[in-house]
Amino acid sequence: MSKNCSWSGTQKELADLYLRKLEIRFETKIEFDNYYLSYSGGKDSHLLYWFIKEHLKTNDIPIISVNTRLEHKEIMQRMYRNADKVLIPDIKPTEIKEKYGIPCFTKNQDEYIKRYQKGNRSEHTMSRILGTSPSKHNLNKKARELTLSGAAHKISNECCIQTKENTLAKYEKESGLLPIIGVRTAESINRQGAYQTCLAKSGKFSPIYDFPDIAVDAIYKVYNIDEPNLYHKVHRSGCIGCPYINDVARIEQDLALATPNQRAYIIQLFRESYDVKGVNYKQFLSEIYVDKNNQLTFSIY
């Protein structure tokens, strides 16, 4: 059943069909006491939270969140309200920016830009930089021009790695538990290739990987599951104003929905990438100052 599939039965029949699929996967694929739920507070991870706590009625699976310091206030509140434990990364986003650089184009492109900026000139890296052989990971024209000219700011894909991935990896090592994640292939083309089964060889469990939007929506509606008010304005949430959001208008909408303090922090953090992508962050500022070290200070509406 695809993302845009039709359904001839009732919403309850659709919801129960997919809930039964979830039950079977949990019953046959994993041992509860070997796993934890990676809970972001978003729609998909909250569906799994509800399924574990309200449908299965088990406390054998810990609910674990990560406070990246970049979530919308409502999502952050949901994490602290529902998680058994909220992990704090060892490094702050501003420290990641200074040490590694910030996101700009895509995770894969930024990986090769990071390598190039650190002096890597291997045949493989240069093939992606120059686009001399076909690959979906080749730099686009703007990324290539900025990188080769030396005009690009310090770019990397380390933000997600340092905040979420490393933090959860540390928890897994200390606890001995494996992750249950709410990833779905309906969310992106890249995930369709990356997730072909609910249980990876590594043990990572993705029980709703093949659930279409209409099935998730049906479960939410039929069982009256709490949904963030934020999701009436955006389809999904993540780190506020992340440069990896494809749509510039969506980034600007994200900034508009943030609190003034969050907005100021995010703009300072991602300003250079916003300039490259054409994000109009200045609409949110009342006064802007740039000092001799190119540091931005401003007051915000």
Q: Same domain for 172 and 88?
A: yes
Average pLDDT (226-239) is 84
Is residue 41 located within the same domain as residue 69? yes
166 plus 282 within the same structural domain? no
Domain match, 225 and 281 both: no
47, 40, 41, 14: which is closest to 207 by C-alpha? 47
Q: Which residues of 146-172 are buried (b: 16+ CB within 10 A; e: fewer)?
A: bbeeeebbebbbbbbbbbbebbbeebb
**Boundary residue ending a domain (232, 256, 278):** 232
Band of pLDDT at residue 54, cut at 50, 70 and 90: very high
Indicate if 224 and 247 belong to the same structural domain: no
Number of domains in the chain: 2
Assess whether pLDDT exceeds 60 at residue 23. Answer: yes
- pLDDT band at 2; cut points 50, 70, 90: very low
Residue 137 within any structural domain of the chain: no
Residue 3 confidence (pLDDT) above 50: no
Q: Are residues 78 and 175 in the same domain?
A: yes
Average pLDDT over residues 176-185: 95
Tokens matching residue 260: 């003034």
Residues 48 and 165: their CA atoms lie apart, in Å, by 20
- pTM check: above 0.85: yes
**pLDDT tier at 300, thresholds 50, 70, 90:** low
* 218, 276: one domain: no
Same-domain status, 164 and 287? no
Band (192; pLDDT cuts 50, 70, 90): very low
Residue 146 lies in a domain: no
Which region, left, alpha or beta, applies to residue 41 given φ > 0 means left and ψ of -120 to 50 means alpha? Answer: left
Q: How many residues does the chain have?
A: 301
> What confidence score (pLDDT) does residue 7 get?
55
| Residue 122 is assigned to a structural domain of this protein | no
Residues 251 and 273 occupy one common structural domain = yes
Tens digit of each residue's pLDDT (9 = 90 or more) over 143-153: 999 999 999 99
Could you give the strand order of the β-sheet that contains 85-87, starting from the edge strand earlier in sequence?
Answer: 85-87, 63-66, 35-38, 178-180
Asked if pLDDT for residue 295 goes beyond 50, the answer is yes
Residue 65's CATH number: 3.40.50.620
Domain range for 32: 11-93+158-232
Question: Does 79 share its domain with 185?
Answer: yes
Asked if residue 201 is part of any domain, the answer here is yes
Q: Is the pLDDT of residue 291 over 90?
A: no
Domain end among 187, 207, 232: 232
User: Which residues, including other chains, have CB under 8 Å from residue 161's CB and lie 6 or more apart?
Assistant: none
Q: Are residues 285 and 192 in the same domain?
A: no
Do the beta carbons of residue 64 and residue 49 sit within 8 Å? no
Q: Model confidence over 83-141: pLDDT tens digits? A: 999 999 999 999 999 999 999 999 999 999 999 999 999 999 999 999 999 999 999 99
Burial status of residue 225 (CB atoms within 10 A of its CB: 0-12, 13-18, 19 or more): middle
Q: What is the mean pLDDT of the chain?
A: 91
Same domain (yes/no): 218, 274: no
Q: Where are the alpha helices (DSSP H) in the chain?
A: 11-29, 43-50, 73-82, 93-99, 107-117, 123-130, 141-149, 158-160, 166-175, 189-194, 213-222, 248-257, 260-277
The domain boundary residue, chosen from 178, 199, 232: 232
184 or 187, which is more confident?
Answer: 184
